[in-house]
Chain A
Amino acid sequence: MTTYDTVIIGAGMSGLAAGIRLAMFDQRVCILERHKVPGGLNSYYERQGRKLDVGLHAMTNFAQKGERGRPLTKLLKQLRIPYEKLELSQQHFSRIVFPEHDLSFSNDPLLLTSQIEKAFPCQKDNFARLLELVKDFDGVNLNNKPQSAKEKVREIISDECLLEMLFCPLLIYGSAWENDMDFSQFVIMFKSIYLEGFSRPKDGVRSIINLLLEKYTQLGGELRLGTGIKKIDIENGAVTGVTLDSGEKIQSHKVMSSIGLPETMNIVSGQQESPATGAMSFTETILFFDKKPGDQGIEETIIFYNDNDRYDYKHPQTLCDYHSAVICFPNNFYNDDYDEGVIRVTFIANFEKWNELDRKTYLQKKQEVRGEALVLIAKVFPKFQAELLYHDVFTPTTIMRYTGHFQGAVYGSTQKARDGRTGIKNLFICGTDQGFLGIVGAMLSGISMANLHCLMDGEKA
């Protein structure tokens, strides 16, 4: 029977990236994925010939080819994937829309700075100080201790409305905490969204997954799709391998799990205490229209909408919270790969409420969500007139079914294991619950955890 050097659980962005690093240096590595399709939190599917993306609306951390010290450049180098392969197309610009103020930002950080100077003239110097703090802070240092980002930013930004507006995209694009985030996470997200910006690979998320898969298999890595894991086997406090749902046992010296910290601990044999499950989940409505938003004067790439001066990023008491939303226009990157108009609308949602619905009510409520998405589009863009050709809605229960994240918690546990250690010898975590988020963060997480725990340890030994 084969004994692997490393078994990786989950073929999402982080698992695939970790797999590439290990296969590159001749480890015997196998990635086990419960689903038939790789991708995890960032996946894709097809309905009626239409390509639908799940997960992030855009790739963060845009960098030009060869731009030094950028996370994107770093990860491509580590994976030895040429920059051109991504065929990145930049966003036009995005907007944070609150009742009293409206801030646009693009991949040129000067736009946001000038918008803030106009809308919040008194905060001009404070924002400059915040930029300095963010630029000088090493958000990816694995030894950073958790601290409240709001408390720290509030020491600098004295206007609560500006503070809420700045936090809005960062929270909904990556915080497992309600109404706040870890300061390290804030810095990573701030740089990745406001200083580097959004882009989209040609054909969306599937291109990145395919690139990673191609690289991984070329290097000799093994991948088993449709292979769920029943438990992680531990003997004398150390990993010995995994037992599959089928009962088959696979031996491995090390296990790198990308499925989440509580989800991993749940399948550790004999483990009692489980880390906290996150509460943040979402619905997303994907709408296809006969006209493109750009033809009707909509140039924005992503809108972060909130109908109050305070942004309430928390687990709602109802199925969905319609006071805030993200509206994404995938056509509105410099290169548009769609034939039809596409709009994606995300609402914050409550997992338990969705989970307790019977099938009939569940389907009705999905229609309501679609209705609310259309109402919101009409409210923000009263002039948009187009015929709806097709739509799909996914909910927190869909997210749980496809990602395995407890309670459909998109950003995972509120507790992160930044150094990837689990307390069990040779069992490590990468991905969402290691704490680097977004597509770029996920891949960097896989790379750095594979380097630290599976390549460097070998070096020392």
Chain B
Amino acid sequence: MDYQTIRKKIIDIIADIAIDEDLSHLDDNIRLREQLDLDSMDFLDVVMELKKRYKIEVPTEDYMKLATLKSCVEYLGPKFAFSS
């Protein structure tokens, strides 16, 4: 799965969680928390949605790997490959 496909899957999840936010200008290298109003409760939702939609498990100690869009794609890439 290529970078853009995985990126889109992550953006789709964030769009459902942060329903009132504009996601069209996200910078892949800047922490999501700095660009959007997301707190730890919302990151829990990202993790739960990954599990619900793609059966991908993210252990608590790996939460920090979801900090930026780029790190999300890098971390989740192999997991998506494995799950599909």
B44 close to A (CB within 8 Å):
yes
A65-104 residues with Cβ-Cβ distance < 8 A to B are 65-66, 68-69, 73-74, 76-78, 80, 82-83
Contact B37 A66, beta carbon cutoff 8 Å: yes
Contact A80 B44, beta carbon cutoff 8 Å: no
Chain B 21-52 near chain A by CB (<8 Å), digits 1 or 0: 10000000000000001010110110110001
Contact partner, A77, options B17, B48, B52, Cβ 8 Å:
B17
Contact partner, A66, options B20, B39, B42, Cβ 8 Å:
B20
Chain A nearest CB, measured from B57 CB (Å): 8
Closest A residue by C-beta to B57: A459
A145 close to B (CB within 8 Å):
no
Collect the chain B residues with CB atoms within 8 Å of residue A160's CB: none
B16 close to A (CB within 8 Å):
yes
Contact B52 A26, beta carbon cutoff 8 Å: yes
Collect the chain B residues with CB atoms within 8 Å of residue A25's CB: 48, 52
Q: How many A-B residue pairs have CB under 8 A?
A: 43
Collect the chain A residues with CB atoms within 8 Å of residue B52's CB: 25-26
B81 close to A (CB within 8 Å):
no
Contact A65 B20, beta carbon cutoff 8 Å: yes
Chain B 46-82 near chain A by CB (<8 Å), digits 1 or 0: 0110001000000010000000000000000000000
Measured CA separation A115–B29 after assembly (Å)? 47
Contact partner, B37, options A68, A447, A448, A456, Cβ 8 Å:
A68
B19 close to A (CB within 8 Å):
yes
A252-297 residues with Cβ-Cβ distance < 8 A to B are none
Collect the chain B residues with CB atoms within 8 Å of residue A65's CB: 20
Contact A82 B20, beta carbon cutoff 8 Å: yes
Measured CA separation A118–B28 after assembly (Å)? 51
Contact B21 A80, beta carbon cutoff 8 Å: no
* A456 in contact with B20 given A73-B37, A74-B39, A77-B37 (CB within 8 Å): no
A47-77 residues with Cβ-Cβ distance < 8 A to B are 65-66, 68-69, 73-74, 76-77
How many chain B residues sit at the interface, stated as a range, is 10 to 19
Chain B nearest CB, measured from A268 CB (Å): 29
A359 close to B (CB within 8 Å):
no
Contact partner, B20, options A83, A451, A455, Cβ 8 Å:
A83
Closest B residue by C-beta to A26: B52
Measured CA separation A68–B21 after assembly (Å)? 11
A460 close to B (CB within 8 Å):
yes
Measured CA separation A459–B58 after assembly (Å)? 9
Measured CA separation A448–B40 after assembly (Å)? 11
* A455 in contact with B21 given A73-B37, A77-B42 (CB within 8 Å): no
Measured CA separation A456–B40 after assembly (Å)? 12
Contact B20 A74, beta carbon cutoff 8 Å: no
Chain B 2-22 near chain A by CB (<8 Å), digits 1 or 0: 000000000000001111110
Measured CA separation A25–B39 after assembly (Å)? 18
Contact A451 B41, beta carbon cutoff 8 Å: yes
Collect the chain A residues with CB atoms within 8 Å of residue B60's CB: 459-460
Measured CA separation A80–B19 after assembly (Å)? 7
Contact B20 A448, beta carbon cutoff 8 Å: no
Q: Which residues of chain B have a CB within 8 Å of any CB of chain A?
A: 16-21, 37, 39, 41-42, 44-45, 47-48, 52, 60
Q: Supply 30 A–B pairs (Cβ within 8 Å), ascending by A.
A: A25-B48, A25-B52, A65-B20, A66-B21, A66-B37, A68-B37, A69-B37, A73-B20, A73-B37, A74-B41, A76-B20, A77-B17, A77-B19, A77-B20, A77-B37, A77-B42, A78-B41, A78-B45, A80-B19, A82-B19, A82-B20, A83-B20, A447-B41, A451-B41, A451-B44, A456-B44, A459-B44, A459-B47, A459-B60, A460-B60
